Structure 1
Amino acid sequence: MCGIIGRVGTGDAIDTLLTGLENLEYRGYDSAGVAVQNGAGIKVQKRSGKVSELKNKIDASVLEGQVGIGHTRWSTHGPPTDANAHPHTDSTTDVAVVHNGIIENYIELKEQLAAAGHEFTSDTDTEVIPHLVQHYLDQGWDSERAFRTAIDELQGSYAVAVMISGEHVIYAARRGSPLVIGMEDNEFFLASDIPAFLEETNDVIYLEDGDVVVLEPEGYRITDLEGTPVSRETDTVDWDPEDAGKGEYDHYMRKEIHSQPTSLANTIEGRVADGEVDLEEFPAGAFADVDAVQFVACGTSYHAAMYGEWLLREANVRTAVHRASEYDSSVGPIDEHTLVVAVTQSGETADTLAAVREAKARGARTVAVTNVVGSTAAREADDALYIRAGPEIGVAATKTFSSQSVTLALLTQRIAADIPDAAPIDDLDAMLESLSDLPDQVESVVETSRAGELAERYLESRAFFFIGRGLGHAVALEGALKFKEITYEHAEGFTAGELKHGPLALVTEETPVFSVFTGGGDEAVQTNATEAQSRGAPIVTVAPDDHQAVGTGDAHLSIPDTHPVWAGLLANVQLQLLSYHAANELGRPIDKPRNLAKSVTVE
């Protein structure tokens, strides 16, 4: 969840480092810092709080150098204080380190180093790394050997970048946490995520677990831990640097809601032909040996996975959806005829990666549905299917949920076409024809939405309930998640029929109920909404203008008429806007909600 940026080249590195940290703010953090050197020594500046506060503290006349590393920290060991902020150094400030992940054996290492005379000044697990490197330097070992030996002693997960005084070099390694190299002419970058340096280059190399890299002004070397050279391909990401900025919008989330027509068009392009699903990654027969499908995901991706699970179940395919964090205890029997579909926007979600590894260990075939080419999930799964949504910066996922859901809907129909005794949806032609209209319909929702008015009307409510059935249930859960994520108000999503099995006790005139109508199971949704309304709850119908429920509700969020598979995604856009406007009225930090991070890379 923390962010790393590193740079080796000519000219001063500090501006690049600070820009990189600003570009990584979306990952969630509570402190920030940088370390630079020009050959005469390492200078460090760090503090708790925002990157903007760090920038104000920096004296450019003192803090300058051609090589540097920076970090945004999400607290795991020790509170967010200046002392606990990264970079961390050894006692002599000859070694500076930034680190993502968790060092599981840090207490043992710290005790050993303290016994040898090393003094520690923070509560973090990270601080053992510079002291460990210095321990081996003090024995007369060269820098690279000292670094490799120190890394070899670490247990746990890490992405580590290290500078050593007097050297124009960054040493780095990864295991379990993402790390990527960027290249542009005579400059080389290192980061935990591409947006950190996207303004500088889109030529990247994704490091893999066990990789060790040495970045120098003349180039880079990648080896394994023993020093054996390894080859990693260079990829060119097709993300535009402008996609990673806010542009004319006040918040990334607002921009990303409004960009859904474009991201959906990219998701759909080339994947429907002659009334059939056409996925070049999976030609006809690709799933002929599959007899069961499991989806694994977390958070918003889990709600998208529910879309896939529902559609496969309707196609008579044995299927289940699992929260990735519970997969190892809930999976049940699987074998080589089981397909496990991992849904992860970043491709780096730790719980989802653990589920993929568990599935592969049990012999299952795996597919990653992700947004990031070359991500760990894409590399480790047997196959990858990309959602093509472009970079998403806001912590609260919006456009990626839409693109994930569409991608999974197409994938499920491709799977169902191959499995004996299964069948794609009855009106596949109509479903796919309606899909071509989805981007324009989303744009219509964004341009005409009255969600801002309703957010203001119900702002003083004590709780917010969201209900739906079938695909609408996934949307209700997602709507509630968005609302609680960025407003900090109490919100819950339910399948409509569950209201009367407990939650109805909480319903009052201060509990608006947002009812999602998708064209499937709508009668039950209306019945349960009416039951809540009879207890005083205001009912907001999320449905087409001509839907019968509109006249019985207290307010209405309109969606265009479309196929029932896509109606929920249009309803979801209205609920995204509702959450956004409510959070904005409340003055919440919309793009950086408290306690949350974009990429959850620790279990």
Structure 2
Amino acid sequence: MCGIVGYVGNKEAYPIIIDGLKKLEYRGYDSSGVALLHDHSIQLFKKKGRVSALEETVVGEKLTATIGIGHTRWATHGAPSDRNAHPHYSNSKSIAMIHNGIIENYSQLKAELITKGYIFHSDTDSEVLLNFIEDIKINNNSTLEEAVRIALKRVTGAYVILLIDIDLPDTIIAARKGSPLVIGIGDNEHFLGSDASPMLAYTKDVVYINDYELAIITSNELILKNIGNERVTPFIQRLDLNLSQIEKGGYEHFMLKEIFEQPQTINDSFRGRLDVSAHSITLSGLDTVLTKLDQAQRIVIVGCGTSWHAGLLAEYIIEELCRINVEVEYASEFRYRNPIITDKDFIIAVSQSGETADTLVALEKAKGKGATIFGVVNVVGSSIARLADAGMYTHAGPEIGVASTKAFTAQVVALILFALKVANHKRTITDERYKQLIEQLSEVPTMVEWIFATQLEKIKHIAYKYANAKDFLYLGRGYNFPIALEGALKLKEISYIHAEGYPAAEMKHGPIALVDDTLPIVFVATKDSYHEKIVSNMQEVKAREGRVIAVISVGDELTKDIADDYIEVPYADEIISPLLSTIPLQLLSYYIGVSKGLNVDMPRNLAKSVTVE
């Protein structure tokens, strides 16, 4: 949610900030704004809509400043508008602030401030926090740093805040709790961002700020303190990212680029882990907690959205291969329903960003009860990575498209590797099957390339054929059921077409009432132990004049004859096959969205990293 950028140094701030906002626009695109501090005054510009609208607003303005902050918004409090866009001025206009997160007790604070004569010019919780800070600064005759520290002790919620003050002409004050903040270290300059993408062109040395830390940043100094005002030594990390990874590279959209990157990202997920010739898997993070896993009575997988689907697929795989009881929980429900957690539980947290607010709170709750936390995340240095006892990175690289594609397949690969490693350790898998699955897993990138080479035009044709449908139904059995759910989610996100995923056997318990000659039904029907059953489900749909689109294994002539349209994927073991069958569904949603003229990279109302509950 929301992208934040800051710069202090020896260069013109505005071009750096505006470029950073463009790179972070996937995090929110309702409105954007910048605040520049120069000659003891703050210039503030903000505009509803995309960052390009903000750029048009400032044409002709004198934008001289070497310090500034910028924001691109995903609305929580107040509709998208110029007045609700960030940054916000304090009542005196001597301080400007940007905020990512939610202040839960803002209404109480606002009521207190109104009695003191404060006037509010937006509907946001952020402006309330800013004026609360200013009120403390004035009444306590304190510095901005002290006022921020005092204010945050009263605040309930999540935040990253960046502030500039006319009394501090060369300083940015920043603080975080529950939302990400990265500070890049340059040559007498510092860069701030929600992630590292705004600073990649300038530096690869970064500091990831922890919860309850406050940063005082000038061009030549970074001071970190905890909430108790004690100095903290910054831990500088070297980024393993390239600028090309966050650019489109000739593709029309980031989503398409990221779909086509999957042979490489799947390979990257194997790198250093999968040794096909030796039939071995190395997971150093898992090794550190393997004893805990041996003693565990169950595995609980928590995630949200696409990550939950990856977890659901992992439930099927881990129970089959490892013979361990697995439960999959929506993180948002897990944290609120007072679950029974003990020190015999092994929690796997699945998150692309590593910052998902619901997942983080759920993990903190589980860790407090003694459970072992294992993180499966994409972002190095993220909050979940730091909270977990151990884990593994998915190595998908930056994913800019809001609808997850390559991050999903990387998560699935990581979880399959986890299951195979544990199954071999526990001796719940035969040597023959273990070797077979390792060999097939290594061939997945080549098989995905085959799909791109042979099925793309067919997928485009199907997408344009059904682009005007009002509803879709996605059905699958066994390992393909989570893929049906993920396919339906992608279509909803990208095309705004209502879509539902169901276990195919459940169709007769309700959804079959929807079947008529206008309803496209996507069957994920690759050859597996359920194949005959799902073919019967197709026959039931055809008997009611439903339109069948089938994802099938190469050579499945029977299913070809039943389906109105079909997409083929290479045959693979039923544990490996979901990595292949998800690819056509990603492409189908992409091309339906494109055919409707929609912004597939930034679908309405969605943001990439959900850092509020």
TM range (shorter): over 0.9
Contact in 2 for aligned 1:264/1:402 (Cα 8 Å):
yes
Equivalent residue number for residue 58 of structure 1: 58
Equivalent residue number for residue 475 of structure 1: 483
Per-residue CA deviation, residues 80-130 of structure 1 (Å, 9 max, x unaligned), is: 121111101112211000011111222222222222232211111111233
Matches within 5 A, 1:194-343: 194-273=196-275, 274-283=278-287, 285-286=290-291, 287-315=293-321, 316-328=323-335, 332-343=339-350
1:224 Cα offset (Å): 0.7
Work out the CA distance in 1 between the residues paired with 2:325 and 2:492: 33
1:451 Cα offset (Å): 0.7
Work out the CA distance in 2 between the residues paired with 1:448 and 1:200: 41
1:331 Cα offset (Å): 7.0
Contact in 2 for aligned 1:516/1:568 (Cα 8 Å):
no
> Residues 470, 426 of structure 1: CA spacing in aligned structure 2 closer, same or farther, 3 A cutoff?
farther
> Residues 11, 237 of structure 1: CA spacing in aligned structure 2 closer, same or farther, 3 A cutoff?
closer
TM-score of the pair, normalised by structure 1? 0.97
1:330 Cα offset (Å): 5.5
1:183 Cα offset (Å): 1.5
> Residues 61, 122 of structure 1: CA spacing in aligned structure 2 closer, same or farther, 3 A cutoff?
closer
- What secondary structure, in the 3-state scheme, does the structure 1 residue paired with 2:285 have? coil
Equivalent residue number for residue 360 of structure 1: 367
Number of aligned residues? 602
Gaps of 5+ in 1: none
Equivalent residue number for residue 183 of structure 1: 185
Work out the CA distance in 1 between the residues paired with 2:466 and 2:171: 56
Matches within 5 A, 1:346-385: 346-385=353-392
1:452 Cα offset (Å): 0.4
Contact in 2 for aligned 1:95/1:164 (Cα 8 Å):
yes
Equivalent residue number for residue 495 of structure 1: 503
Per-residue CA deviation, residues 18-48 of structure 1 (Å, 9 max, x unaligned), is: 1111111111231110001123311100111
Work out the CA distance in 1 between the residues paired with 2:509 and 2:148: 59
1:481 Cα offset (Å): 0.5
Work out the CA distance in 1 between the residues paired with 2:142 and 2:335: 43
1:429 Cα offset (Å): 0.9
CA-atom RMSD in angstroms? 1.7
Equivalent residue number for residue 113 of structure 1: 113
Give the counterpart of 2:410 among 403, 413, 417: 403
1:423 Cα offset (Å): 4.1
Greater alpha carbon shift after TM alignment, 333-342 vs 90-99: 333-342
Work out the CA distance in 2 between the residues paired with 1:239 and 1:443: 24
Matches within 5 A, 1:453-464: 453-464=461-472
1:131 Cα offset (Å): 1.8
Gaps of 5+ in 2: none
Equivalent residue number for residue 165 of structure 1: 166
Give the counterpart of 1:448 among 454, 471, 478: 454
1:437 Cα offset (Å): 1.0
Greater alpha carbon shift after TM alignment, 357-366 vs 469-478: 357-366
Work out the CA distance in 2 between the residues paired with 1:177 and 1:425: 45
Please tell me whether residue 41 in structure 1 is matched to residue 50 in structure 2: no
1:329 Cα offset (Å): 5.1
- What secondary structure, in the 3-state scheme, does the structure 2 residue paired with 1:584 have? helix
1:425 Cα offset (Å): 8.9
Greater alpha carbon shift after TM alignment, 338-347 vs 544-553: 544-553
Please tell me whether residue 551 in structure 1 is matched to residue 551 in structure 2: no
1:496 Cα offset (Å): 1.0
> Residues 423, 431 of structure 1: CA spacing in aligned structure 2 closer, same or farther, 3 A cutoff?
closer
- What secondary structure, in the 3-state scheme, does the structure 2 residue paired with 1:336 have? coil
Greater alpha carbon shift after TM alignment, 350-359 vs 369-378: 350-359
Per-residue CA deviation, residues 153-205 of structure 1 (Å, 9 max, x unaligned), is: 32221111100014210000011111111112222111112223223222211
Give the counterpart of 2:579 among 566, 569, 578: 569
Equivalent residue number for residue 141 of structure 1: 142
Per-residue CA deviation, residues 231-281 of structure 1 (Å, 9 max, x unaligned), is: 232112212111111121111100000110111110011212321322122
